[in-house]
């Protein structure tokens, strides 16, 4: 066996259908119990526990205990980034597991990708920030410019706090439905939190859909219009 990262082991962990269902469910950013994940995966609680144990040992999950319940969430942004990339690859190759339903259009419009905004509105925000020079690609690294810092601060986001985070400030994430980039990293997370704080948008508790109010959609369009 050649030296280097063992991608086969990680791929095998993600590749099981039940485990893949659990992981994509956790892309909502919520921490869920074994029973909730078992229902999403369509398996028994005992089987789900076995799968979750393997995912945890593989470094893909973060388990937390609160009271009598044990909750699981994705380990970090890196795991979410890989999953979103795989979704894009699968969609682009025509590997779709089910027919589209009523929520499909809403998911494509705006949804949570772990902790940041994805979908059409997510890519629009990214394109606007790039077009206006608030974000630039420097040696394939996404960076916030001086003008971008002013824009972000004026929007009420504290960059001092974000710079203290272990997560990268800015990061490209390939959107599975749009096949274009949206903004991840601590800044992407801060933008979504700010939209929620301003009551522009709210997350559907049962899906990954992010619903913008008429007022919020109008404000978003003005803020991230593309000239």
181-201 pLDDT, tens per residue? 899 999 999 999 999 999 999
192 and 168, same domain (yes or no): yes
d(CA 2, CA 166): 31
Note whether 151 and 137 are within 8 A (CB).
no
Cα–Cα distances in Å, from 113 out to 38, 85, 132?
21, 11, 24
Q: Looking at residues 3-30, what average pLDDT do you find? A: 86
Among 60, 75, 90, identify where a domain stops. 75
d(CA 79, CA 59): 9
22 and 91, same domain (yes or no): no
The beta-strand segments (E) located in the chain are: 32-33, 61-66, 69-74, 111-113, 116-118, 135-138, 141-144, 171-174, 181-184, 201-203, 210-212
CATH number assigned to the domain comprising residue 20: 1.10.10.10
217 and 158, same domain (yes or no): yes
Q: Provide the token pair at 18.
A: 């039940």
Q: Name the most confidently modeled range: 40-44, 68-72, 92-96.
A: 40-44
Q: Taking the model in full, what pTM does it have?
A: 0.70
51: alpha, beta or left? (left if phi > 0; alpha if psi -120 to 50): alpha
48 and 158, same domain (yes or no): no
Dihedrals phi, psi of 145, to nearest 5 degrees: -85, 175
d(CA 106, CA 113): 14
Residue 2 located in a structural domain: no
Domain count, the chain: 2
Q: pLDDT per residue over 106-159, tens digit each?
A: 888 999 988 899 999 999 999 999 999 999 998 888 999 999 999 999 999 999
Residue 140 located in a structural domain: yes
145 and 173, same domain (yes or no): yes
Note whether 58 and 13 are within 8 A (CB).
yes
87 and 167, same domain (yes or no): yes
Residue 1 located in a structural domain: no
* pLDDT for the residue numbered 95: 58
More confident residue, 175 or 210: 210
* pLDDT for the residue numbered 4: 66
* pLDDT for the residue numbered 211: 96
38 and 88, same domain (yes or no): no
Residue 91 located in a structural domain: yes
Domain membership of residue 101 as a residue range: 79-223
118 and 149, same domain (yes or no): yes
Among 45, 75, 105, identify where a domain stops. 75
């Amino acid at each position: 066996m050649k030296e280097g990262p063992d991608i086969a082991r990680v791929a095998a962990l993600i590749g099981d259908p039940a485990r893949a269902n659990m992981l994509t469910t956790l892309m909502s950013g919520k921490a869920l119990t074994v029973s909730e994940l078992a229902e999403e995966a369509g398996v028994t609680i005992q089987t789900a526990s076995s799968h979750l144990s393997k995912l945890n040992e593989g470094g893909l999950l973060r388990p937390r205990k609160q009271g009598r319940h044990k909750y699981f969430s994705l380990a970090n942004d890196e795991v979410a980034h890989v999953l979103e990339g795989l979704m894009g690859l699968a969609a682009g190759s025509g590997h779709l597991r089910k027919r589209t339903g009523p929520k499909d259009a809403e998911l494509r419009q705006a949804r949570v990708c772990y902790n940041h905004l994805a979908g059409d509105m997510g890519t629009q925000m990214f394109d606007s920030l790039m077009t206006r020079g608030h974000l630039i690609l420097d040696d394939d690294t996404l960076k916030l410019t001086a003008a971008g810092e002013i824009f972000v601060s004026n929007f009420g986001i504290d960059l001092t706090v974000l710079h203290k985070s272990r997560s990268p400030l800015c990061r490209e994430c390939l959107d599975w439905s749009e096949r274009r980039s949206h903004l991840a990293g601590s800044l992407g997370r801060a933008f979504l939190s700010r939209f929620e704080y301003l009551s522009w948008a709210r997350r559907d508790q049962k899906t990954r859909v992010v619903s913008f109010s008429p007022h919020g959609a109008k404000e978003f369009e003005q803020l991230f219009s593309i000239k």
